[in-house]
Structure 1
Amino acid sequence: MNRQNYRQAVLIAITDPTLHPEASHVAAATGREVIATTDPREIARHAAKAAAVLVDATTAGHVASVNANTIVLLANDPGPVDWQLAMNIHAEAAMLLPAQAPELLALLGRDDPTPPSDYALIAVCGTAGGAGTTTLAASIAMSLEDACFVDADPYSAGADLVFGVESEPGLRWNDLGNDTQALPAEALQKALIQGPEGVSVLSNSRSGAPPQGQQLAGVLGSLRGASHVVVDCRIGTELATIARDHADACVLLIPAEIRGAACAARVQEECHNARVRTVGVLRHRGWSGIDAEEAATIAGVEIVAEIPTIRGLAKRMELAGLHGPPKPLQRVASSIVHALAHAGGSYE
């Protein structure tokens, strides 16, 4: 099984030209991947998945409100250390380099932090149009206890139609402002459309602009750890990239065709580079050109489930929505959840 269990990286967000190489040297000695950036957007994107975030006085303000496991404020020897700043950003430690390099090495060498909750963030991406990505994502969300479905397809006509809750009250993307990161998760979930099986649904509307990248990043940052989050993505878009980078895992829906599998190989490589583990689901539609083994070989991802052609599903979706997934989709969703949990996440 392609479990893709990585050690978490060290994020170095340091502008000081003397301090940066000292911190890089210590981080590299741990054997962890080192990610270096001073861009506030990149810092926010990587911080939640990093084992530790190393900052200096210039970049400290960028991590004050991000969800990070461990923050370390660094300064050049002989100092002094700005302890007030360290407290303001909730730093676990403040150190001087190179004098305290051994202490920093010991801190970075610890085991990866335990995930702060049992909730997961899952991105679902189809590798060809018309594969049924939204239907699969909705089925996964309904298979999880306490889940939020996020419509992140900029060309979606509204995921509320998929759930059959288009007439229900609740906030949609065009009701949210730009500063979505400041939204309390519990209040946001309660304000969304309440779908079947207890799923809260953040949907596009039939009018108004689709969500912007900043909005999606803020919502995912807010919801992370408060519930399971399943994100419906369209590959090749900015929103899909943001969802992938926030996700704990990515589910690739692959039509049983060579082109779909070849596309999946590119997406799998991007996920691997972003340190996001992936699983594949093979979708049979009409005529299948490849089987699960061939799809896995071409795409480079484990196929954990297969979706057959489900008779009457299209009519059911059109007339009433997916109030309860049919048995084949329930089994597929369960297989996905089991595979992701076995790969090192808490999804059940």
Structure 2
Amino acid sequence: MRTQQPLWRAHAQLTTPPASPHEAQHTVCILVSSPCGGVGTSTFAALLALAARQFTSSVALVDRDPRNGGLDVLLGIEQEKGLRWSGLEAPLGTLDYQALAVQLPRWKSVAVLSADPWNGVIENPWEKEAVYAALTRAFSVLIIDAGTAHEAPVLVRNAGDEARVSITRVELLPLSILACARMRGVLAHEKFSPPAGFVACSPRGGSAQVNVKDAEEWLALPCLGKLNWEAKISRNMQRGTGLHPSACLQQMACAVLEALLEGVRRRGLVEEKAGEQDAAQ
């Protein structure tokens, strides 16, 4: 059985005690995306947020696109009071991170910033950047439901202080020929660092057409875990009655989170060593 100790050690090395009740000294942003729509990125992002919540009280789950989403409905907290994307304004490009942290609704002690396009959207990119800048100051871990938007790192990277914000990404990949071909296309046009790896899942309406080993070789990416959706999970999420994962799903999410945080930690050590070499020269 896997121990959760390595995950805590990885996170402890990334996060120092906050300078104020709401300010994070270092933030890890984990983007959950997929080359295909409707495969469960929102659900998997929520599972990762729950896993992170076991080790830190400073976790936020975020809808990437204010025009879409609706995480609060999927999680069954749409009646909870608190801020959504439509209620955020930053005309001067700044946002009070402490007020944001306090006013977001909670789901199982995870702060949630959900899209509600039926009430309005933020159009200006500088306002979106201000939101992400505030989020990276308010929380130690951000889990961002990026959906099929692989340009999502742009806003987070522009908004955050590169020295104190680490960004990584995991792909939710159906094991189908089409999904792998789409993923290969995404990687071919990647403007940023490639994803840390993928989590394999069964294609919608059928069994796997590609095995994990072939997908790893074709995409040159490691498989971080395999997701077997439970029928009641999808049914409850679509009905908006909330996410109630089994122990098996929670263990899988913890293992994936552990791998992602360990990858961030190792990358930070490499960058730190490179910086020391540059300074020595």
Asked if Structure 1 and Structure 2 have the same fold, meaning a TM-score greater than 0.5 normalized by the shorter chain, the answer is yes
Aligned pairs (5 A) from 1:76-95: none
1:155 to 1:202, Cα distance in 2 relative to 1, 3 A:
same
1:223 to 1:263, Cα distance in 2 relative to 1, 3 A:
same
**Aligned mates of 2:126, 2:97 — CA distance in 1:** 17
**Aligned mates of 1:235, 1:219 — CA distance in 2:** 21
Q: Which runs of 4+ in 1 moved over 4 A?
A: 236-241, 243-247
1:332 to 1:270, Cα distance in 2 relative to 1, 3 A:
farther
Quote the offset at 1:185 in angstroms.
Answer: 2.1
3-state SS in 2 of match to 1:288: coil
**Aligned mates of 2:251, 2:110 — CA distance in 1:** 18
Question: Which letter maps to 1:143?
Answer: A
* Equivalent in 205, 210, 217 of residue 129 of structure 2: 217
* Equivalent in 112, 116, 128 of residue 205 of structure 1: 116
Aligned pairs (5 A) from 1:1-348: 117-145=25-53, 146-179=58-91, 181-196=93-108, 198-212=109-123, 213-227=125-139, 228-236=141-149, 239=152, 241-243=154-156, 248-271=167-190, 273-275=191-193, 277-285=195-203, 286-345=206-265
Greater shift, 335-344 or 228-237, is seen at 228-237
**Aligned mates of 2:107, 2:202 — CA distance in 1:** 27
1:231 to 1:118, Cα distance in 2 relative to 1, 3 A:
same
User: TM-score, normalised on structure 2?
Assistant: 0.72
3-state SS in 2 of match to 1:134: helix
CA contact (8 A) 1:148 1:202 kept: yes
CA contact (8 A) 2:67 2:116 kept: no
Quote the offset at 1:307 in angstroms.
Answer: 0.6
Deviations 1:109-143 (A, max 9, x none): xxxxxxx8453111111110111011111111121
Deviations 1:76-108 (A, max 9, x none): xxxxxxxxxxxxxxxxxxxxxxxxxxxxxxxxx
**Aligned mates of 2:194, 2:156 — CA distance in 1:** 11
**Aligned mates of 1:336, 1:180 — CA distance in 2:** 38
**Aligned mates of 2:126, 2:144 — CA distance in 1:** 15
**Aligned mates of 2:218, 2:241 — CA distance in 1:** 34
Question: Which letter maps to 2:223?
Answer: I
User: TM-score, normalised on structure 1?
Assistant: 0.59
CA contact (8 A) 1:136 1:329 kept: no
Greater shift, 207-216 or 283-292, is seen at 207-216
Question: Which letter maps to 1:135?
Answer: T
Question: Which letter maps to 1:274?
Answer: F
Structure 1 unaligned runs (5+)? 1-115
3-state SS in 2 of match to 1:324: coil
Question: Which letter maps to 1:199?
Answer: V
CA contact (8 A) 1:265 1:300 kept: no
Question: Which letter maps to 1:282?
Answer: A
Structure 2 unaligned runs (5+)? 1-23, 161-165, 267-281
Question: Which letter maps to 2:114?
Answer: S
Greater helix content? 2
CA contact (8 A) 1:123 1:249 kept: yes
Quote the offset at 1:306 in angstroms.
Answer: 0.7
Question: Which letter maps to 1:141?
Answer: A
Q: Count matched residues.
A: 229
Question: Which letter maps to 2:128?
Answer: L
**Aligned mates of 1:120, 1:205 — CA distance in 2:** 25
> Relative CO higher for 1 or 2, CA cutoff 8 Å, sep ≥ 6?
2
Question: Which letter maps to 1:294?
Answer: D
CA contact (8 A) 1:180 1:222 kept: no
CA contact (8 A) 1:147 1:199 kept: yes
3-state SS in 1 of match to 2:169: strand
1:250 to 1:134, Cα distance in 2 relative to 1, 3 A:
same
